Structure 1
């Protein structure tokens, strides 16, 4: 389940204590690489170099790898003694230059513009493909992010070559200006749940998922850590309603034989049997997608079974609606498969 997670930090300001706290928090939640961009104006060369040095110092303290997006001019302007980072090469480098650099250092190239001819040239110049990764761009302007099917085919090609792939999803706590519309690779993910977006990327042959924007909230940091390290999906409730307390903040599981239209909570009927509770019909309303339901006494031996609806279902007098997932968590339902673990988290 563990995929490599990364985040972005930009050199548009002097690194302060709040930044250090954020970087440490991301590391604690298993984000292991940093992306930054360094296009140095000649008149500000010393300033940007100092900011990069400060970032590298904090990254080293937290055992974080740093990839720097850079063009030829900025690379030439960097002091020779500055090291401890890897390059994400912007357009403008020749394939011969790339091949020579790959023989001594890991490199990230622009995934969207790499072609079969480029690969042939890199092979000709004896590039070390173990040191080459393919990184997609992010797209600040709405409507310009990549098409999913094209993206998928491109990644399948990289996989056939044994090349590591990377892509971006937006942050949520602080978006990067001046457009402030998120920094996704895929246009369809611009306004989606961040964890759902990350999972979709991992299922589309992406090895590294990075947050494109400057900040990811602590709530999402915890959700990412739970999923990518503990294999547990955190589902947030829209309202607690009549959900039994013993279902909240507990690790629950989908059945090993997954149903098409609902998630069947494996532990629920056993819980009800232990409590020996008779469940009367109540709140028998249409079961919209994301509804949390419990079968009442009219369902006989199924009484006490809790389900999460994966699609809109009609009213059933044998089924009580006891709660609903929030809009973002509904986007996580497709990723609950056989034996999947998840938690129902009350909304704060």
Structure 2
């Protein structure tokens, strides 16, 4: 399940309305906000929270709101959209039991321990109504390490919790630092789709964008991957001769190679003679075609997943953008691929 964030220091206006609708249209199902961020003006919290809930209801989105005991008073009454409360530290086991009987809740994944779990079990809490949410970390160098995160996820899931984590956005990063809001430090400033796939492979059930902005191009890539099951890869070409003759949707072979992605469709067509040229070193993301020196392999199209040396039998004809190169490790057997050509001067970095 995918979610995004929108904070109450930003106005609820037509621009916000359009953003909510776009995210819902591109496969996102929940929106996260907070009622106790220090920068927010207390006078507008309740009004904007009510407006946010209405927007979410209009687009069929569920809402998760971060609260502490002091900020609960800003929660509007007569809410209609589906609401989950993410409880900050300070709530007792009795509080957790009582609130979870009224609505689903999320607890801090880092502070759940055996003692708390035992107490909740004694209170006969319904654990299907409780999720374990990791924090995001605005300050660089403070995010979680992968090994600790994976171990914690495995333990929480063994207790029956669904787990959640944040990735940074790629547009309109949240202040005051504006350096991204990741759970994992290694994901700061990295490709959001690659980050999401990695979190899912680490046993995370829900992935939310921590920052309040997400570009339309990245929305499209998420929908293509999670709804259409097609991985969009941006590229720049030096030679379009082979690429221009291919269908829009390509596939990796069902027997995936270790070092390269082998495109199935090129083996299904007749190719004219391909002379050897531009036989340079093949770095990660390089798009290549086998030339006449490779005999029956002439015309085979590949995308390189690891640095390889130059080969006189292999022509370099293009390159996947730097930002999308981190996606190549997730191209599995039979994966659908769409190669999206970019105009010159844009390397796809975020």
Verify same fold: TM over 0.5.
yes
- Please show how residues 244-263 of structure 1 align to structure 2 within 5 Å: 244-247=243-246, 250-263=248-261
Are 2:339 and 1:344 equivalent residues in the alignment? yes
Instruction: Determine if the alignment matches structure 1 residue 16 to structure 2 residue 9.
Output: no
Q: 1:329 to 1:40 in 2, by over 3 A?
A: closer
1:267 maps to what in 2? 265
Cα displacement (A) at 1:260: 0.9
Structure 1 unaligned regions, length at least 5: none
Relative to 1, partners in 2 of residues 1:263 and 1:48: Cα closer, same or farther, differing over 3 Å? Answer: same
**Contact kept? 2:49, 2:75, Cα under 8 Å:** no
1:171 to 152, 169, 172: 169
Displacement after TM superposition at 1:160 (Å): 1.1
Structure 1 CA distance for aligned equivalents of residues 77 and 265 of structure 2: 60
* 1:173-220 deviation digits (Å, cap 9, x = unpaired): 110000000000000000111100000000001111100001010010
Give a deviation string over 1:133-170, Cα, whole Å, max 9, x none. Answer: 00100000000000110000010012212211110000
Say if 2:283 is the partner of 1:288. yes
Report how far residue 238 of structure 1 moved.
3.4
Which residues of 2 match residues 79-90 of structure 1 at below 5 A? 79-82=76-79, 84=81, 85-90=83-88
Note the C-alpha offset of 1:247: 3.3
How far residue 79 of structure 1 moved from its aligned partner, in angstroms, is 4.7
- After superposition, the Cα gap between the structure-2 partners of 1:222 and 1:96, relative to the gap in structure 1 and judged at 3 Å, is same
Which residue of the partner structure matches residue 52 of structure 1?
49
For the residue of structure 2 that corresponds to 1:72, the secondary structure is coil
Map 1:203-218; keep pairs closer than 5 Å. Answer: 203-218=201-216
Which residue is 1:122 aligned to? 120
Q: Distance in 1 between matches of 2:257 and 2:10?
A: 51
CA contact (8 A) 1:269 1:305 kept: yes
Contact 2:45 2:74 in 1 (8 A): no
* Mapped partners of 2:218, 2:41: distance in 1: 35
**Separation (CA, whole Å) in 2 of partners of 1:74 and 1:53:** 14
Aligned counterparts of 1:106 and 1:52: Cα–Cα separation in 2: 18
1:183 maps to which residue? 181
Seen in structure 2, the aligned counterparts of structure 1 residues 314 and 45 have a Cα distance that, compared at 3 Å, is closer
Instruction: List runs of 5+ in structure 2 lacking aligned partners.
Output: 344-350
Give 1:75's match in structure 2, choosing from 72, 75, 82.
Answer: 72
Write the distance in 2 (CA, Å) between the matches of 1:52 and 1:341: 40
Residues 67, 86 of structure 1: 8 Å contact kept: yes
Q: What is the SS of the residue equivalent to 2:295? A: helix
Report the equivalent of 2:348. Answer: none
CA spacing shift, 1:316–1:104, aligned 2, 3 Å: same
Structure 1 length normalisation: TM-score? 0.94
- The ranges of structure 1 where at least 4 consecutive aligned residues each deviate by more than 4 angstroms after the TM superposition are 43-46
Partner of 1:156: 154
Q: Given that residues 246 and 265 in structure 2 are in contact (C-alpha distance below 8 angstroms), is that contact kept between their aligned partners in structure 1?
A: no
Q: Residue 78 and residue 285 in structure 1: after superposition, are their counterparts in 2 closer, same or farther (change >3 A)?
A: closer
8 A Cα contact 1:35 1:68, kept in partner: yes
Q: What is the Cα-based RMSD across aligned positions, in Å?
A: 1.6
Deviation at 1:83, TM superposition (A): 5.5
Deviation at 1:343, TM superposition (A): 1.2
Shift of 1:105: 1.5
Distance 1:77-1:278 versus aligned 2 partners, 3 A rule: closer
Q: TM-score, normalised by structure 2?
A: 0.93
Q: Does 1:99 align with 2:97?
A: yes
Range moving further from structure 2, 212-221 or 45-54: 45-54
